[in-house]
Structures are given as structure tokens and as C-alpha cells.
Amino acid sequence: MRVSGDWITNPATQQVCAMLEKGGHQAFFVGGCVRNALIGAEVADIDICTDARPDRVIALAKAVGLKPVPTGIEHGTITVVAGGLPHEVTTFRRDVETDGRRAVVAFSDDILEDARRRDFTMNALYARADGTVVDPLGGGLRDLEARHVRFIEDPEQRIREDYLRILRFFRFYAWYGDPDEGLDREGLAAIAENTEGLEALSVERIGAEMRKLLTARDPAPAVAAMQASGVLTRILPGANARGLPVLVHHEGALGADPDPVRRLACLGDPHAADHLRLSNAQTRQLAHLREGLESTLTLPEIAYRHGEQMAVDVAMLRAITFETPLMLERAPLHHAAQAQFPIKGADLMPDLQGPALGAALKRLEQIWIDSGFTIGRDALLALL
């Protein structure tokens, strides 16, 4: 079996592989690029593993005019820039010591040792420079074809090496698993016994993983399993997965792209921004969604203040929360999002200033909004 695609035939990428092989070393593509190529998904990042040590990779790259960047040299990773593209080149490794968050590694010459320290069988697939697939563990190809997300060897040991693998298990199921077959039972059982390990992880790592999970086309089955296993309560104590399948249905009906923040709002944890360390923009978005859900603001007013998509998102969340059909007219929302309040502060000066000016502007704006954005400037000024 071979993988193919522009990513692997790119002359720059082939140059990196040739650099290693001509230097007397092995070169294998590994992980996501191989997995995605095999299932026909987009290949975004190119990871290469080798028996060459980091200092040797640096020397070989410089000798052929490529740029080596020691982005993770303590873990054996050198980013080799070729043709403007980054290629992460990592020495084969084996774990020496783990504490549930990070690992102390030793370099290895054995691809089998490198494969056994990875998380899931579908991520332990390798490919030579010509695309020939190598499955050192013997089950990765089978599991990938079956869309079976399975820990390598002992699930409990894999989890205790890095507790973030609990969340990765659900994320990979959301992206690559077979919803008709359900989640791997041994993996779920091991997760349920080790949820307390999540407490040791940083909120940044948890947040990044959850955002990736919630960006999947349909994360609802994975999130429901997280709740059943006790994982969801550990990371989002106030969350409930019940409404997420309905939201995914509404998104599909409306042609809305997956939005992790919208889906977080549906889960309902009021402190999600802190629990997942959201960005400032994501925190504001979540706050607007919660405000829209909990207030009596009309959808057109929400569209005017925060954009048409925000009003659509609030409409979906309200329908789920109040268990009502989704009734949505897009034209009024589009009109409201484009509307511009015709009064400026200068129109009311110098008669009004300071707090009185602000109060008058706010009152006139609300009258204008309540009119469906139809009252003109002169009519509004006559109401003073």
C-alpha cells in the first residue's frame, strides 16, 4: 500500500527525505500526514522521523543548503525549512519516564520503539519517501480502515503517560471514528478509571484540545460519551451534552459551519471561558451568545449590535433551550445587521452634553430599533 498526493511528491519535501537517506539514515513520514493521506483528508503538517540524532539532522540540512530550526531539540525535533515549507524531523524515541503531563525520552534506532510510545494505532502509521506504508504494530491500517480509535497496547498505561490522551481519544473519535460502532470499550473503561488525572493538566492544553474536538462535523456522540464517563464534568463542571445533537442538526439545516464557541454555549457551563482559557475574542463571543440566550432582546436587535451570524446562533440556542421549533427569517436579520443609526452625538449638541447626551442617544437608538430601523433622522430629532 502506498500514500500519494502533492504533499509527498513536493520536491522540497523529497529533498528533506533524500538529505537523510543519502546521509545514511532512515526517513519515514509519520502520524497525521500518513493517516490523512490514507483516508483522503487534507494533509496540513508534515512530520518525518529518523534514526539520525538532532545534531546530525542539523549538520545534514546545513550541508545541502536547507535551514534547520531547533524548535524542540530536547525532544529530538528539528524543523527543516525547505522550499518555504516547515518539515518537523524527529529522532526515533522511547519513553524513559512519564508523569502524566510530559515525558523524559531517550533516542532510539528502532521504529518499533518509536511506534509503541504513540497514543493510537491509527497514529502509528509510517510511510517511506516513495509512499510505501509501514505498520510496525500490525494493527494501525486495520483500525484506520474500520475507523476504530484504539489505544496502543495497554490503554491505562498510555493514558497515565499523558492524561491529555483522554481528551484526544474523544477528539479522534469525533473526527475519525465510526459512530455506528461506538467508542472502544477498553479505552472507555480505562478513561473512566483515570479521570482524576485531568486535574493535573493545564487549562491551555485542555482548552486547545476541546476546541479541536468541538470543531468536528458532529462532536455530539463523543461529547455524550465524555459526559457518561465523567470526563465532561471534570473539565466543564456546569456542562450538559443533551442539547448538542439538536444544535448540530440545526447547523446542518442552516448550512452553518461548525463553531466551537457556539457549541460551548450550548453545553451551558457558565465558566467555560475560564475552564478552557479562551481567547479574548472567543470570550466576548461566548458572552454575547449567553446574553442573547438569557435576555429578551429581539433577534434583529442582536443582529444590529453583534452581526447576523450572532443572531442566527442565538436563535438556534433559544430553540434548543426552550425546546421549540427553530423559526428563523433571515431577511430582517440581514437588514438589521446592515442598518446604521442616523443620529450622531453632534446632532444633539450643544443642547445636550455629558451623561444627558449619552442617555438621549441611547433612548433614540432604542426607539429606532423598535421601529424596525425605519424612523428617519428628522423624525427622531423631533422626539427630543
> What is the model's pLDDT at position 99?
67
Bridge-based pairing state of the strands 47-50 and 85-91: parallel
Three-point CA angle 178, 182, 185, nearest 5°: 130
- Residue 310 within a domain: no
User: Has residue 65 been placed in a domain?
Assistant: yes
- Of the residues 123, 146, 169, which one is the last residue of a structural domain? 146
Q: Is residue 14 part of a domain?
A: yes
Residue 336: is it exposed, middle or buried by C-beta count within 10 angstroms (0-12/13-18/19+)?
Answer: buried
**Residue 54 is placed in which grid cell?**
538532532
Cα distances from 4 to residues 13, 47, 175, 183, 346, in angstroms, run 13, 15, 21, 29, 64
Q: What is the pTM of this model?
A: 0.92
Tell me whether residue 120 is in a domain: yes
How do residues 153-163 score in pLDDT, each as one tens digit? 999 999 999 99
pLDDT at 98: 72
Domain containing 374 equals 341-381
- Among 128, 146, 164, the domain-final residue is 146
Q: Report the pLDDT value the prediction gives residue 379, as an integer from 0 to 100.
A: 95
The grid coordinates listed for 9 are 511528491
pLDDT band at 104 (very low <50, low <70, confident <90, very high): confident
- Three-state secondary structure string covering 315-338: HHHHHHHCCCCCCCCHHHHHHHHH
